[in-house]
């Protein structure tokens, strides 16, 4: 079998002496002065790059200039314009310039300079990412052999790194020229390794098969896609590749003879029917055969398109005419027919596909398409896009001579490629990709800062972050990061975050993950303060009651808490009152007799007041609203029978009630709001406590009070305390029902600086 791989150089690192800056400036000046910017860009770019690249070599030993020359040939086959081909020379020239943007812009214009610089940055980032992936892979394999890393986690981490590389490519691919330059360069790298009979690094082959080839497919550049797939698959699974190649070669002469016989007969018959058709054999691609065998669980001899023909005709009507003729003269395999003309593939591909059998039962596939469909199938978007030397929109926008709809169509193909491969939301999601000093890729939301980066790397690094260097330069911690930057965090050994980081106006944090980590740190700090405050209160109570010898864990268990710190936290947060603790310390009281419950005798002419409580299944009893939780209609409520004070009404979620219910479950009774409002009787007002936790600042109390005033809610009392920059406030308000409390709490939560709003 003939080796299909042609020699070509690699896109890996280069070695060699850097030309002097004076020499480079002279080259740029000569190139710029020699011809206008718009004239013969390809020749000018090669003349510019040749002195820089002629004596430079790749790490494989190949000449860089030869690599770029081969890239240019690939771009020409893809349909790239001379301007796009010229950009290939400028990309590699960038690596030998101290001020590449300035020099290239002077000689070729700003558009070429931006394209060359951005593509160069992407090449370098992907190279670093591959090297890091190789190092990490080696470490993981070692850990896997030691039994310290599960294989499932190994696969998950590999997939994550591949996904980040894919997303990084997307982030730099808003200009289609960048994509095409990278496709050409990658194909050339694979060709060189095949010709030199040397294996590329595994990461490069995997990227080629799982990232670049599917991208070429989405853009409809099938020539690149098929060759890249076969080359990459040959390196990744050499035994399988050789096995299929051997099977193809065993009956090659017989198969080719049969295909040629059918081709000649079909072309002759179509001409007899006045259809000007070109019929040719279709290449067989080993990777596509393997995918079909694996996907459909087929043997090699069950793969239909090993024998294949392609028919190209002038018009669409001719396509269906050819289809009718083929089905009339051969036996069609109906379940293998696809009409991609009536319903094109998502990437725009159009053709008729049918599988037929001859009289001997030998199956072969026939593809039928027009010439324009064939051009698109061979070159994809490159067949329709003409890039200009100095685009009007520059790098940020796709510069092309086609209309707006065509641009959107191409961008949608990139979007679909991302969805196909990663399941992500799309091409232009709000994310950027930056690097650690060790070249690991970190995905962040657009506008992310060094603090976001620190938390993405590790929570402890985020807590201890005190400074940052971006591309070697010190920056402030709220500096927005850009694609491709390398970020180094300066951290202390110990410490915690600043409350300023949660201030949205200061712009320190963008990612939800980082914000949640900072909030969690301050919540833990508040928990420690609550535990300390609760411990102090409980210990003072025990001293007053002469119960200092009591085991605190036993006290907590009696109150329904798993440990003493949990009890202290509940007391410190005022979720449990000291009265409940005090009652736990006292011996159990007997259930009161019925005559100890004071009855409220209601005269028949009396009407119960608005909001009164009814005891289910009993006449009206004396009831009182518990001060620990201050219920108000329409709160879910429960009743507890006290000694001599009637029924105490609690909210069902009250901590004190939960304790009482556990201690005396036989005293719990069902109660409900009466909902009865007497005529001419004013609505009852209920006191409710609203607790607020906020970043302390000037004017905070005034702003919160203004909210209550706007909502026309009367505030009868305020308690406030500030500890380490955190304000703790309790507002006692009067309302006719608890629904008004919920509305005002939502409004208070919108006050700048407010973190938590809850009912006490």
- Give the pLDDT band of residue 3 (cuts 50, 70, 90): very low
pLDDT value of residue 414? 53
Residue, of 115 and 172, whose pLDDT is higher: 115
Burial (CB < 10 A; 0-12, 13-18, 19+), residue 33, is exposed
pLDDT value of residue 677? 55
Encode burial over 509-546: b for 16+ CB neighbours within 10 A, e otherwise.
bbbeebbebbeebbeeebeebbbebbbebbeebbeeee
In whole angstroms, what is the distance from residue 508 CA to residue 455 CA?
A: 12
Are both 179 and 282 inside the same structural domain? no
Q: Looking at the domain assignment, is residue 259 inside a domain? A: yes
Q: Looking at the domain assignment, is residue 86 inside a domain? A: yes
Q: What string of DSSP letters covers 230-282?
A: HHHHHHH-HHHHHHHHHHHHHTHHHHHHHHHHHHHHHHHHHHHTT---EEEEP
CB 304 within 8 A of CB 365: yes
CA distances to 360, 390, 607 from 328, in Å: 16, 54, 95
Are both 650 and 737 inside the same structural domain? no
CB 686 within 8 A of CB 736: yes
For residue range 514-552, list pLDDT tens digits in order: 999 998 888 888 888 888 888 888 888 888 878 878 888
Residue, of 91 and 583, whose pLDDT is higher: 91
Are both 102 and 229 inside the same structural domain? yes
- Residue ending a domain, among 325, 356, 383, is 383
Residue 491 maps to which CATH number? 3.10.20.30
State mean pLDDT over 444-459: 92
Q: Give kind and range of the element (H or E) at residue 427.
A: none
Q: Looking at the domain assignment, is residue 645 inside a domain? A: yes
Residue that is written with structure tokens 């429960």 in the block: 638
Q: Looking at the domain assignment, is residue 503 inside a domain? A: yes
Are both 312 and 361 inside the same structural domain? yes
Q: Looking at the domain assignment, is residue 397 inside a domain? A: no
**Residue 495: how many other CB atoms lie within 10 Å:** 12
Q: Looking at the domain assignment, is residue 258 inside a domain? A: yes
Tokens of 470: 């971006």
Number of domains in the chain: 6
Check whether 480 has a pLDDT greater than 90.
yes
For residue range 703-750, list pLDDT tens digits in order: 999 999 888 889 988 888 887 778 888 899 988 888 888 889 988 988
Are both 300 and 443 inside the same structural domain? no
Are both 52 and 195 inside the same structural domain? yes
Are both 461 and 497 inside the same structural domain? yes
Residue 753 maps to which CATH number? 3.30.70.260
Backbone phi, psi, residue 7, to 5°: -70, 145
Minimum mean pLDDT range among 63-67, 75-79, 389-393: 389-393
State mean pLDDT over 159-179: 58
Q: Looking at the domain assignment, is residue 543 inside a domain? A: yes
Residue, of 626 and 404, whose pLDDT is higher: 626
Q: Looking at the domain assignment, is residue 425 inside a domain? A: no
Are both 740 and 613 inside the same structural domain? no
Are both 474 and 536 inside the same structural domain? no
Residue 153 neighbours by CB under 8 Å, 6+ apart: none
Are both 311 and 376 inside the same structural domain? yes
Residue, of 585 and 652, whose pLDDT is higher: 652
Question: Nearest to residue 216, comparing CAs of 190, 238, 237, 196?
Answer: 190
Residue 418 neighbours by CB under 8 Å, 6+ apart: 166, 167, 170, 424, 426, 427
Residue, of 184 and 39, whose pLDDT is higher: 184
* Angle 298-218-174 from CA coordinates, rounded to 5°: 155
**Length of the chain as a residue count:** 760
CA distances to 141, 153, 157, 203 from 144, in Å: 5, 10, 13, 19
Encode burial over 590-611: b for 16+ CB neighbours within 10 A, e otherwise.
eeeeeeebeeeeeeeeeebebb
pLDDT value of residue 392? 34
Tokens of 238: 């050499």
Check whether 423 has a pLDDT greater than 90.
no
CB 399 within 8 A of CB 111: yes
Task: Provide the residue range defining the domain that includes 638.
Answer: 594-673
Check whether 590 has a pLDDT greater than 60.
no
Tokens of 313: 């005709």
- Residue ending a domain, among 585, 606, 636, is 585
pLDDT value of residue 271? 87
Encode burial over 73-82: b for 16+ CB neighbours within 10 A, e otherwise.
ebbebbbbbb
Residue 230 maps to which CATH number? 1.10.3210.10
Minimum mean pLDDT range among 92-106, 137-151, 360-374, 524-538: 137-151
Residue that is written with structure tokens 């304790």 in the block: 659
pLDDT value of residue 429? 52
- Give the pLDDT band of residue 675 (cuts 50, 70, 90): low
Backbone phi, psi, residue 286, to 5°: -60, -40
pLDDT value of residue 608? 38
Backbone phi, psi, residue 644, to 5°: 80, 0
**Residue 158: how many other CB atoms lie within 10 Å:** 16
Are both 22 and 139 inside the same structural domain? yes
When the pLDDT of each residue in the chain is averaged and rounded to a whole number, the result is 76
Residue 265 maps to which CATH number? 3.30.460.10
- Residue ending a domain, among 218, 236, 254, is 236
Are both 645 and 530 inside the same structural domain? no
pLDDT value of residue 232? 92
pLDDT value of residue 595? 44
């Amino acid at each position: 079998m003939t080796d299909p791989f042609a020699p070509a150089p690699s896109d890996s690192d280069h070695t060699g002496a850097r030309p002097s800056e004076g020499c480079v400036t002279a080259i740029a000046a000569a190139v710029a002065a020699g011809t206008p910017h718009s004239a013969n860009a390809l020749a000018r770019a090669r003349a510019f790059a040749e002195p820089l690249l002629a004596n430079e070599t790749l790490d494989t030993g190949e000449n860089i200039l030869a690599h770029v020359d081969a890239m240019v040939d690939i771009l020409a086959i893809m349909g790239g314009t001379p301007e796009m081909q010229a950009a290939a020379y400028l990309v590699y020239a960038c690596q030998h310039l101290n001020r590449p943007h300035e020099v290239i812009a002077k000689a070729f214009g700003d558009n070429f300079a931006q394209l060359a610089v951005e593509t160069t940055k992407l090449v370098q980032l992907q190279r670093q990412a591959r090297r890091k992936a190789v190092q990490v892979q080696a470490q993981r394999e070692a850990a896997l052999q030691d039994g310290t890393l599960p294989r499932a986690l190994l696969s998950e981490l590999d997939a994550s790194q591949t996904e980040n590389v894919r997303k990084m490519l997307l982030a730099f691919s808003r200009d289609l020229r960048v994509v095409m330059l990278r496709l050409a360069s990658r194909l050339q790298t694979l060709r060189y390794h095949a010709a030199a009979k040397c294996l590329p690094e595994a990461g490069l082959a995997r990227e080629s098969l799982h990232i670049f080839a599917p991208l070429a497919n989405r853009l409809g550049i099938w020539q690149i896609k098929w060759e890249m797939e076969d080359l990459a698959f040959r390196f990744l699974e050499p035994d399988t590749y050789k096995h299929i190649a051997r099977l193809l070669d065993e009956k090659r002469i017989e198969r080719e003879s049969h295909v040629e016989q059918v081709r000649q007969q079909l072309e002759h018959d179509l001409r007899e029917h006045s259809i000007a058709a070109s019929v040719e054999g279709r290449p067989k691609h080993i990777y596509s055969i393997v995918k079909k065998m694996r996907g459909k669980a087929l043997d090699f001899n069950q793969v239909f398109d090993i024998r294949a023909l392609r028919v190209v005709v002038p018009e669409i009507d001719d396509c269906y005419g050819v289809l009718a003729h083929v089905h009339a003269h051969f036996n069609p395999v109906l379940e293998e027919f696809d009409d991609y003309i009536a319903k094109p593939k998502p990437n725009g591909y159009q053709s008729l596909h049918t599988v037929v059998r001859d009289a001997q039962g030998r199956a072969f596939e026939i593809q039928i398409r027009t010439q324009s469909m064939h051009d698109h199938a061979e070159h994809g978007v490159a067949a329709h896009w003409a890039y200009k030397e100095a685009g009007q929109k520059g790098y940020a926008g796709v510069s092309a001579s086609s209309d707006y709809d065509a641009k959107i169509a191409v961008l949608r193909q990139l979007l679909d490629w991302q969805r196909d491969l990663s399941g992500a939301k799309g091409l232009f999601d709000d994310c950027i990709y930056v690097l650690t000093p060790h070249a690991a890729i970190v995905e962040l939301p657009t506008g992310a800062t060094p603090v976001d980066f620190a938390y993405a790397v590790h929570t402890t690094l985020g807590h201890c972050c005190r400074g940052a260097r971006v591309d070697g330069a010190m920056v402030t911690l709220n500096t927005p990061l850009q694609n491709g930057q390398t970020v180094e965090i300066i951290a202390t050994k110990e410490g915690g975050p600043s409350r300023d980081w949660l201030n949205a106006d200061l712009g320190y944090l963008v990612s939800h993950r980082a914000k949640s980590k900072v909030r969690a740190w301050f919540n833990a700090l508040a928990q420690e303060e609550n535990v300390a405050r609760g411990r102090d209160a409980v210990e003072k109570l025990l001293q007053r009651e002469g119960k200092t010898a009591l085991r605190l864990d036993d006290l907590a268990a009696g109150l329904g808490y798993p440990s003493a710190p949990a009890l202290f936290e509940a007391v410190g947060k005022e979720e449990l009152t000291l009265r409940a603790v005090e009652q736990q310390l006292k011996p159990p009281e007997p259930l009161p007799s019925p005559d100890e419950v004071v009855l409220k005798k209601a005269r028949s002419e009396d009407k119960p007041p608005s909001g009164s409580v009814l005891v289910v299944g009993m006449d009206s009893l004396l009831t009182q609203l518990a001060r620990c939780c201050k219920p108000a209609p329409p709160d879910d409520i429960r009743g507890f029978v006290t000694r001599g004070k009637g029924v105490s009404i609690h909210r069902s979620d009250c901590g004190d009630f939960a304790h009482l219910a556990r201690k005396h479950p036989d005293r719990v009774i069902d109660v409900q709001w009466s909902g009865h409002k007497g005529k001419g009787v004013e609505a009852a007002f209920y006191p409710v406590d609203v607790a607020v936790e906020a970043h302390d600042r000037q004017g905070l109390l005034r702003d919160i009070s203004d909210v209550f005033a706007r909502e026309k809610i009367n505030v009868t009392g305020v308690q406030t305390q500030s500890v380490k920059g955190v304000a703790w406030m309790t507002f006692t308000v009067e309302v006719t029902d608890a629904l008004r409390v919920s509305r005002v709490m939502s409004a208070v939560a919108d006050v700048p600086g407010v973190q938590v709003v809850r009912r006490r």
